[in-house]
Structure 1
Amino acid sequence: MKKNLLFVMPSLSAGGGEKSLVNLLSQIDYSLYDVDLFLFSKTGVFINSIPREVNILDLPDDYKVFTRELKISIKNYLKNGQINLAYSRLMFSVKNRMVKSKAISEQYTWKYQSMSFEILEKEYDVAIGYLEKSSIYFVADKVNAKKKIGWIHTNYSNSGMDCNFDNPYFEKLDYIVTVSEECVKSLKENFPHLKNKIRVIYNVVSPKIINNLANKEIQDNFKYDMGYTNIITVARLSYEKGIDIAIKSCRSLINKGYKIRWYVLGDGSEREKLESLIEGNDLKHNFKLLGIKENPYPYIKKADIYVQPSRYEGKSIAIDEAKILHKPIVVTNFETAKDQINDGENGTIVDMTEEGISDGIEMLIKNIDFKNNLVENLSKEKLGTEEEINKLYQIV
């Protein structure tokens, strides 16, 4: 008899956690498992990549109203006599404005958002909140399941989250899964009493799928500039991804006389700020934000160098994908960098500064033998992690 699994996720926007979920779902044996997916928003660039066997659940009507513009939402609730929901919607908005930290605001507003959800009728064998915060809170509060799992995709110590808020939710979980040994260490430091629940399952990446997609034509007539060093970064436009540092590094390289074209695939809350920084450094023709691409792999494959300028990461899927495509890689020395890159062997780890990044790129431009050696080492490395799905089967 098949087991019933539920995955919960905010959306399928272009992020590492979202891509990780799509990759994992592509590896599940659907002869053994029936899988439901609950999304707070049925949107995102990966929505069309969900396997056809996965059943995406409908959103409850009260929550649909909750997500509408504030005045419209409150008016609808009051019209239907739902005073508690009208109050919750108002407080959700007020709290979001009061709390400056995005990480903490999502935690502290959950009690108001949760009022718009009923407990799901179906009982599951296993329910998985596949991203930190709301997905896990939903599984803890709104799902009947024999076993509950929470998935953490970031280094908890650097996340800005309040561990005192998360603690009662984590105590309701049977397992806490994270994506690297460094992330395990961080969770054990913050939740030492829950250390026996913590497991590591690396992000699922498939070289076969990535290489097939990388061989497809770029659809938007984009072409790299001949005669330039073409650099690619795949990242959300958010503070932790360090795109602002990359912009300054680009300026530094151009000041030294290098011909650079640097492209970033992704979008996010800092786009306007980054565009101003690009313009202020006179880089409109050198540093370009290309937005989200459903298939980023042809862009990565055809680039000369891959750079990850992050301030912190859990475990970067984009780095694993660049490795699979045998790109010379420059990464900053965030805490989990060494989980993926052996400095000088399959990439180079640099200081988290504009000088560090620009020096790393300059070394790859000037030292062709070193660059070719990185590529050769990557070509010999076993890079697929499809077997990670077996770790999930074991705890399920």
Structure 2
Amino acid sequence: MKTNLLFIMPNLTSGGGEKSLVTLLSKIDLNLYNVDLFLLNHSGLFMDFIPKGVHLLPIAETHHLFTLPLFQSLKKLLLKGNGLLAYNRIMFSLRNRNVSNTSKREQYSWKYIAKSLEKIQKKYDVAIGFLEKTSTYFCIDKVDAAKKIGWVHIDYDQLGMDSQFDQVYFQKLDHIVTVSEECANILENRFPDQKNKVEVIYNIVSPSMINEMANQDNLNVYDKKDNEIIILSIGRLHYQKGFEMAVESCKKLIDRGYKIKWNIIGDGEERGKLMELIEEYHLHNHFKLLGLKSNPYPYIKQADIYAQTSKFEGKSIAIDEAKILNKPILVTNFSTAKDQINDGTDGLIIDMNADAIAVGIEKLINDTNLRKKLTLNLACLKKGTEEEIDKFYGLLNR
């Protein structure tokens, strides 16, 4: 008899966690497992990547009404006679206004959002909250399962969350999975009484798939000119990714006479802020926000340098993908950087400021021998992690 699995995720918009989920789903043997997926929002870049055979569960109408703009939500809820949920919608808005930290806001508003969500009636063998916060809370509060797993994709200490809030939920999990050894150390230090539950399963990346997709588009995706250096970064336009430092670094390099084009694949709440900075520094021809790309791999392949300017990460899938395509890589020295890059061997780790980023890029531009060395070393590495599916199976059956 097949094992019944449920995965829970807020949505499938762009992001490392979302990409990690659809890749994992594509590797699960559907001859052995029945797989259901619950999303709080049926939208996002990766919706089309949900494998056939994975059953997408419906969302309660009450949740759809709850997530409408405030006055529209209240009107529709009251017309349906749901005064209690309308009250919770008001409290949700008030709570969000009074909490500045976005992670704590998500934590504290869960009790209001939860009122709009029905408990899932089917009983599962294993339920997996595949992202920190809401996915885990839903897994605990709204699902009946013999085993429950929570997934943390980030350096927990950098989110500024209320650990006491999560402690209540972590106590009810059977396993807490994270994506790197450093992330595991951070969780074990923050939640010492949950230490025995922490497991490391790396994000699954497939070199054969990535190389195939990188060659799908033979066009010059950048319209590259002679002697131009193309730099690429990938990530949500969010404070975490430090893209304001990338813009400032680009300005410094242009002022020093370098012919560069810096491109970012991604979207998010900081687009307006970054556009203003690009305008201020007159970088319209040198710094491009490309938006979301369902296939970013031709862009990685055709770039000269991949740069990750993050302030914190769990384990960056984009870095792993750049490694698979043998790109010279520069990363800022966030807490988990050394989990992915050996400084001077397969990339450069530099200080987390615009000056250091500019100096690092300058070094990669001028030192062609260094770039060749990094590329050759990357070509010799074993970079696929498909075998991580076996760790996942082991966790399910333990």
Partner deviation per Cα, 1:199-257 (whole Å, 9 max, x = no partner) = 00000000011111101117896523332110000011011100000111111111111
Match of 1:334 in 2: 334
Letter in 2 for 1:182: E
Gaps of 5+ in 1: none
Letter in 1 for 2:92: F
The alignment partner of 1:109 has SS state of helix
CA contact (8 A) 2:221 2:299 kept: no
Match of 1:138 in 2: 138
Q: 1:218 to 1:101 in 2, by over 3 A?
A: farther
Could you tell me how far apart the structure 1 residues matched to 2:227 and 2:49 are? Answer: 36
Match of 1:236 in 2: 236
Q: Which moved more, 1:88-97 or 1:217-226?
A: 217-226
Could you tell me how far apart the structure 1 residues matched to 2:341 and 2:165 are? Answer: 33
**Once the 2 structures are TM-superposed, how far is the Cα of residue 75 of structure 1 from its aligned partner?**
1.7
Could you tell me how far apart the structure 2 residues matched to 1:72 and 1:5 are? Answer: 36
Q: Trace 1:1-396 onto structure 2 (pairs within 5 A).
A: 1-217=1-217, 222-396=222-396
Q: 1:323 to 1:38 in 2, by over 3 A?
A: same
Could you tell me how far apart the structure 2 residues matched to 1:344 and 1:318 are? Answer: 19
The alignment partner of 1:147 has SS state of strand
Could you tell me how far apart the structure 2 residues matched to 1:288 and 1:244 are? Answer: 13
Letter in 2 for 1:107: Q
The alignment partner of 2:231 has SS state of strand
Could you tell me how far apart the structure 2 residues matched to 1:253 and 1:221 are? Answer: 22
CA contact (8 A) 1:224 1:303 kept: no
Q: 1:139 to 1:219 in 2, by over 3 A?
A: farther
Could you tell me how far apart the structure 2 residues matched to 1:58 and 1:65 are? Answer: 14
CA contact (8 A) 1:225 1:261 kept: no
**Once the 2 structures are TM-superposed, how far is the Cα of residue 79 of structure 1 from its aligned partner?**
2.0
Query: Aligned-residue CA RMSD in angstroms?
Result: 1.1
Percent identity reads 55
Partner deviation per Cα, 1:58-113 (whole Å, 9 max, x = no partner) = 10111111111211211222222222101111111111122111111000100000
**Once the 2 structures are TM-superposed, how far is the Cα of residue 342 of structure 1 from its aligned partner?**
0.4
Letter in 1 for 2:336: T
Could you tell me how far apart the structure 1 residues matched to 2:218 and 2:167 are? Answer: 45
Could you tell me how far apart the structure 2 residues matched to 1:307 and 1:199 are? Answer: 29
Could you tell me how far apart the structure 1 residues matched to 2:80 and 2:159 are? Answer: 39
Letter in 2 for 1:57: L
Could you tell me how far apart the structure 2 residues matched to 1:252 and 1:222 are? Answer: 22
Letter in 1 for 2:383: L
- Which TM-score applies when normalising by structure 1? 0.98
Partner deviation per Cα, 1:251-280 (whole Å, 9 max, x = no partner) = 111111111100000001111001101111
Could you tell me how far apart the structure 2 residues matched to 1:2 and 1:29 are? Answer: 10
Gaps of 5+ in 2: none
Could you tell me how far apart the structure 2 residues matched to 1:391 and 1:224 are? Answer: 42
Following TM superposition, the consecutive aligned residue runs of length 4 or more in structure 1 with deviations greater than 6 angstroms are 218-221
Letter in 1 for 2:100: K
Could you tell me how far apart the structure 2 residues matched to 1:219 and 1:44 are? Answer: 26
The alignment partner of 2:100 has SS state of coil
- Which TM-score applies when normalising by structure 2? 0.98
Q: Which moved more, 1:95-104 or 1:218-227?
A: 218-227
Count of residue pairs the alignment pairs up = 396
Q: 1:220 to 1:111 in 2, by over 3 A?
A: farther
Could you tell me how far apart the structure 1 residues matched to 2:326 and 2:362 are? Answer: 19
